[in-house]
Amino acid sequence: MRKPQKLDVACPNTECRAFNKRGLLNIIKKGKQRNGTLRYQCTECKRTFARTIDTPFFRKHLSKREIIRVCKLLAETIPYRGIARATGHHLDTIRSIADSVGEHCEQYNEYFVRELKLDLVEVDEMWSYVKKKKRAAQRASARRVKSATRTPTSA
């Protein structure tokens, strides 16, 4: 039998006593799916589940890389048929990915509005701030890499 590990995943079974508790020694790795997604099993309730549960990648047969590629094309406002032609996937697959990503984004916005009691304007400002900080972090990272690759000159 495999040894339980301290992982950053939690049991998604609401009836399990370890439900949504991360860092316990109750999760073991249980192989991979065909698209490369890891599977886990809770030693408390014996339920197996995929790593991608509660994400837009859940129950998708495409690899994570392909779904991200489709999402990037969707963000560029390319029509569904164009994305289907460019990626070689069926039109219904593209629509399914767009639908699940849209639902996931909607859940995040609802959480910010309902649970955190933010206005829509505040949520929009928060996302703008996050994007700005991400760009600044990427620039700083590029500067660090650039300076690390320079060789010191001796005088």
Residue pair 38/11 in contact by the 8 Å Cβ criterion: no
Closest C-alpha to 59, from 19, 95, 96, 14: 96
Write out pLDDT tens, residues 13-58.
Answer: 888 888 888 777 788 888 888 877 788 888 888 888 887 777 777 7
| DSSP-derived 3-state class of residue 48 | strand
In sequence order, the 6+-apart residues with CB closer than 8 A to the CB of 109 are 123
Q: What is the rounded CA–CA span in Å between residue 37 and residue 67?
A: 13
pTM of the model: 0.58
Residue 83 burial by Cβ neighbours in a 10 Å radius (0-12, 13-18, 19+): buried
**Of 48-52, 99-103, 145-149, the least confident:** 145-149
Residue 45 burial by Cβ neighbours in a 10 Å radius (0-12, 13-18, 19+): middle
Percent of the chain at pLDDT exceeding 70 = 89
